[in-house]
Each structure stands twice: as structure tokens, then as C-alpha cells.
Structure 1
Amino acid sequence: MRRRSSVLAALAAAAVLAAPAAAAAGTSGQASETGGRTLSFRGMTLRLPSGWRVHDHRDRVLVTTGKCRTPEPFAPDCRGFWLYGPEVIAYGAGGRRYTGSKPFVPASGAPVGCPFAYGSVQVLGRAGDRGLHRVGRGHTAKYVAWDGRCVKRDGRTTALFTQREWFLPTSKIVVVDAWKTPGLTKVLRNATWSRRGAS
């Protein structure tokens, strides 16, 4: 009963959360609005498949890979993944510094909307797969996949998903993907780095 009450309280607060956390100022990454080219962020360059579009929100970048009604991180019905820099990492574990030991949740005390269902919030549970994944030559990310579900006000689960995270602590980048984006692992593995992003 206590768990259901906390979910209901979270959903009530979700009504107030119309947008993700405000963009942090001073990003050092550069993103192009053109799809099918490259995305450079904090010294890391990704070659993106044609059709993927980049939306630069300063210290957070959204890459949409399909249908997207509102191109904002964690917005419902927006297929894609997110890249975050140090200013978001500073509070990316529910208000505390993100280290990869807990799921990435870019809000403190406020629920995060479910990317798969309007009127639901996401609830992240146990870690499944974890390990080290290569992100370009000489760079290794801490990888973890979290079990997630979308929960309605009445406690009903409306969707199940996996939130995948690649964390590069030295480069101060975290990549978050809730859509099991096809090809993303390969895109990250083939990343190139400038001297600025050397770790």
C-alpha cells in the first residue's frame, strides 16, 4: 500500500512536470541540426545514420531516431537517445551526482514522465546487464541496463522497457537510451575522439 501511495504521489507531481530539467548553460559540445552526418559532443564524435536528427539543448543533446512529437528528453512518443554533460551529471541520480551505481533520473523529488505512455511515470528497478563497453579507440564506458516500467495513477503498469546507460566518467558524458535504439551500440563503438576528449 505504501508503494502504491508513493506512485500516486509521484503521478500527482508529474502533472506539474511539463518539461525536463532546464538546460544547463555552458556546454562545450557542438551538435549539427542535420541528420546523417556527425555529432560532436565534449570531444566525442559520432557518425549518425541517415534519418537521425540532432537537437542541441546545450549540456544535453537529444538524437531522435524516428517519430518524435516533442523533441525533448524523456518526452512521450519521442524515439531517440540522450547525451548529457557534466552539469546534468552533477544531479543526474535523482538530485545527486550520477556515478552509474543508480539509474539516471534527471530530477530531484519530481517524477519523470514515461517515454512510452502519456499520463504515466517511469519507475526504474534492478540493474540487469552491466559491464564495460568500448566507445571509440581508447575509451571505455561503464554500461548498465536498468529494468523500467511505466505506471499510471491507479498503479497500473502500462509498459515495460530497459533503460541503457553508457557512462564515461573521465570525459563526463553519459548516454541514455530507453528505446533499445538499433545500431546505437555500433555507433558508440565507432566513436572518434579529439585531443580535448582524451581520457
Structure 2
Amino acid sequence: MRKRSPVLALLTVAAVLATPAAASAASVASVASVASDSSDSSAGQAKILSFRGMNLKIPADWRVYRDGDSVVVVTGLLCKRPEPFAPDCEGFWIFGPRAYMNVPVGGGSITYTGKTQFHPFSGVIPCPFNSKLSWYPGEKASYRGLRQVGPGHKAKYTTWPNRCVTKDTGRTTAKWTQREWFLPTSKILVVDVWNTYGLSGVLKRATWS
């Protein structure tokens, strides 16, 4: 493996796995601001997820969990640990400023700006699709631009190439893209590693309060 730079994307496959402690059922609760909404018959039954003034109409079967200043939206059927970067938990994440500012990296801290890929901690992160593999991030964005997030709000949209590698030999077994929508004025960061179907449209149709 080539030497990594000491930034958010600093992940060494030989390092000891460092993941956040699993949130307990008591500390991870459904977002209180999610309300049922079936008025849009064309989209089927839906509900509203509100976060820092951003209101998203999401499918009713997407499960929403809040832990501090972060929200996990689980879109798949199997998810044993609904927290950011937990392996085998299909969905996406929404972060507020307390989650993306002063991120601990190697004895110091870094505030997310979009210049480097977002990771909430240093160390080896399991591959999202297979916990027996390691997540090896790309250092260069594959795309940068703007995306509409409801009326009057545009996010800095960035995509990052990533690989899943074996822990013993570093052999690449899968390639995928991390997508990030960052609204610095509203202080919201949305991160998706599963290429969640319909998420771009959900964000484009957001309303604000």
C-alpha cells in the first residue's frame, strides 16, 4: 500500500480497527420529527424527516434513527447496528456541525470542508458491503459540482472513488463511490455510500422551514 496523507481519508489497512461504540437501543431513537404523510398518491405512502430546517419526504419504510447531531436513515431490511459507517447497514447519513466539525484524526482534529472525503474517525473502517474487508478510500474526487436541495439551497456535491480490499494482501474486491451533499450555510452534510435509489430526487424536492 502506498503512504496515505494525514487527512480525513487517512486509513491504514494494517491499523487496529477503530469504530464507534454501538449505540444502545435507549440512546438511538427514532427521529421525533418524522410524521406520516400519504397525501402524494403518486409517490405512495411517505413521511417527513426534518433536520435543521430541511424537510425531506421519504418512503414510509425507510427507518430513521438519531444519535446526537447525526441521523441514520436505514433503507434496507438488514441492519444490526444503525450508526454511521457500520458495515452491512444499507442507508445514508445526515450530519450536523457537531458531527462534522473537530473530527478526531490521529491525535488532532479536522473540520470537514469538502476538500477531502468525510470519515468521522481515523483507523481502518470495514467495507460497507462486507465487514471482513477493509475500506480503502480514494484521495481525489471524481466529481465536484452543485446540486439543488429544495428552493433557494444548493449543496456542494462531491463524489469519491473507494475500494474494498482484503486485510491480508490488500487485494481489491470491489469498487464503489461515496456521494456527499454539503450545505455549509445550513450546516448539513449528507453522505451516501450505497447509491441509495431516489435519494438525489428526495434532496432536490426538499422544503425548508
Alignment partners' CA distance in 1, 2:55 and 2:61? 17
Mapped to 1, the partners of 2:165 and 2:35 lie a distance apart of 33
TM-superposed deviation, 1:129: 1.8
Show CA shifts across 1:49-69 (max 9, x none).
Answer: 131110111200000111323
- 1:75 is paired with a residue whose SS is coil
| C-alpha distance 63-8 of structure 1, shift in aligned 2 (>3 A) | closer
Match 2:60 to one of 41, 50, 59? 50
> Could you say what secondary structure the match of 1:54 adopts?
strand
Aligned equivalent of 1:9:
14
TM-score, normalised to structure 2, is 0.78
Q: Does 1:121 align with 2:134?
A: yes
Match of 1:83 in 2: 94
Report deviation, 1:89. 1.3
Quote the Cα distance in structure 2 between the aligned partners of 1:105 and 1:161. 16
Of 149, 161, 169 in structure 1, the residue corresponding to residue 163 of structure 2 is 149
Answering whether residue 85 of structure 2 is matched by residue 74 of structure 1, we say yes
Aligned amino acid, residue 176 of structure 2: F
User: Any idea what SS the aligned residue of 1:142 has?
Assistant: strand
1:24 corresponds in structure 2 to none
Higher mean alpha-carbon deviation, 119-128 vs 71-80, is at 119-128
Identity between Structure 1 and Structure 2 (%): 51
Return the alpha-carbon distance in structure 2 between the equivalents of residues 2 and 144 of structure 1.
24
The alpha carbon displacement at 1:7 in A equals: 3.6
**Structure (1 or 2) with the greater helix fraction:** 1
Aligned equivalents of 1:162, 1:93: Cα separation in 2: 23
Choose which of 201, 204, 209 in structure 2 pairs with 1:186: 201
Query: For the aligned residues, what is the CA RMSD?
Result: 2.6
Letter in 1 for 2:191: V
State the shift of 1:146 in Å: 0.1
> How far is 1:99 from its partner?
0.5
Whole-Å Cα distance in 2 between the matches of residues 185 and 33 of structure 1?
Answer: 21
Q: 2:21, 2:35 → 1: CA distance? A: 21
TM-aligned CA deviation for residue 114 of structure 1: 1.8
1:165–1:171 Cα change, 3 Å: same
| Alpha carbons 1:53, 1:63 under 8 Å: kept | yes
Match of 1:130 among 121, 136, 144: 144
- Structure 2 Cα separation of the partners of residues 33 and 156 of structure 1: 45
Cα distance in 1, alignment partners of residues 82 and 174 from structure 2 = 21
Whichever of the two has the greater Rg, that structure is 2
2:178 aligned counterpart, secondary structure: strand
Question: Secondary structure in 2 aligned to 1:63?
Answer: strand
Structure 1 alignment gaps of length 5 or more: 22-28, 195-199
Question: Contact 2:35–2:47 at 8 Å: present in 1 too?
Answer: no
Q: Which residue of 2 aligns with 1:25?
A: none
Cα distance in structure 1, aligned partners of 2:99 and 2:126 = 17
2:123 and 2:190 map into 1 onto residues whose CA distance is 21
TM-score by length of 1: 0.82
Per-residue Cα deviation, 1:50-94 (whole angstroms, up to 9, x for no partner) = 311101112000001113232111111111000000011103585
Change beyond 3 A, Cα 1:103–1:161: same
Give the 3 Å change call, closer, same or farther, for CA 180–136 of structure 1 in structure 2: same
